[in-house]
Amino acid sequence: MTGPLRVGVIGCAGIAVRRMLPAFAASPDIEIAAVASRDPDKARRVAERFGCRPVHGYGELLERDDVQAVYVPLPAALHAEWTQAALDTGRHVLAEKPVTTDHLRTAELLELAAARDLVLMENVMFVHHRLHGAVRRLLADGAIGELRSLGAAFTIPPLPDGDIRYDRELGGGALADVGIYPLRAALHFLGPGLGLVGARLTRGGGRRVETSGAALLSTPDGVTAQIAFGMEHAYRSSYELWGSEGGITVDRAFTPPADHVPVIGLHRDGKTEEIRLAPHDQVAATVAAFAAAVRSGVRTDPGTTLRQAELLDEIHRSASYGAPVATVGTG
């Protein structure tokens, strides 16, 4: 590939307009070729803002010969259809999380991408932030001794009643939307051998999807991971790792703004050391990683993507459900 990667965007979702399109536009490795919407006026407005071509209809975008890769920010239930369509037409794909709502379908699409020598990357951005590499190095250097446990949580305040994340048919629910963050953190630090011990999900009053939950997981050698998630809560975005000689804590772990100064809390011998890092733009880093994967032909961690999909399905299948709780609507 010579020159910037020419990307087409299938859908004008909020995350596309707020985060990904600005990051594409700022990247020297990316050229935004086109933006597609089922609403021609919306496509035109977004295309004008980002200096690209508007396209009416998702299929029309895949007929263009100036699109080398596709970003899919559609509701989760539509990811599989349009990811496959893009792969079938020879396009690399950056798909919003989760890649699909079924681990068998995710496996099929990863296999299809590999067979066609295409990149299929899931847009889990926090793993590209330098913060988590620094935490991994502390663990590898024995900063807290032998790792014993991980705890991670991501919770957000209530959403407007009409938000698609409350829509079961569109693949909504707290597990896939926010639970994926602490689950991926557990996989990031403990590896793909992580297995489910048990899980609990709860539906808010009047909701048809789970609005909160928790799960206990473990590695084969007994390192445990406790994850919690929810979308009708006070905001929380953190993880902690505890070992035989100390602990590591991280706040604002999953969706920090680009100018945020990350702080690692290192707890040893009854004392806490704060390790401050330089700010890092994880959205820009994700875009760069996708372009680099396409350029090099090296696919980005498909094994973790698949294991994550398997665990999401297993949590859904095996979780017990708590009694519905009262929900405060936001209109």
Annotated active-site positions, please?
Answer: 97
Reduced 3-state DSSP string for the chain: CCCCEEEEEECCCHHHHHHHHHHHHHCCCEEEEEEEECCHHHHHHHHHHHCCEEEECHHHHCCCCCCCEEEECCCHHHHHHHHHHHHHCCCEEEEECCCCCCHHHHHHHHHHHHHCCCCEEEECHHHHCHHHHHHHHHHHCCCCCCEEEEEEEEECCCCCCCCHHHCHHHCCCHHHHHHHHHHHHHHHHHCCCCEEEEEEEECECCCCCCCEEEEEEECCCCCEEEEEEECCCCCEEEEEEEECCCEEEEECCCCCCCCCCCEEEEEECCEEEEEECCCCCHHHHHHHHHHHHHHHCCCCCHHHHHHHHHHHHHHHHHCEECCCECCCCCC
